[in-house]
Amino acid sequence: MSARLRVFLTCDQDKTLLNLRTTDVPQKVKDRAEVIRLNAHGWYVEKIAAHFNWTSQTVRKVLHKWRKLGMEGLWELPGRGGKTKYDEEDIVFLAILSQKRTTYIQQCSISSKTF
The pLDDT tens digits for 2-19 are 678 889 999 999 999 999
Longest dimension (CA), the chain: 81
**89 and 68 within one domain:** no
The pLDDT tens digits for 20-55 are 888 888 899 999 999 999 999 999 999 999 999 999
**63 and 112 within one domain:** no
**15 and 55 within one domain:** yes
Overall domain count for the chain = 2
**What is the domain extent for residue 58?**
11-74
> Is 3 a domain residue?
no
Q: Is this structure's pTM higher than 0.85?
A: no
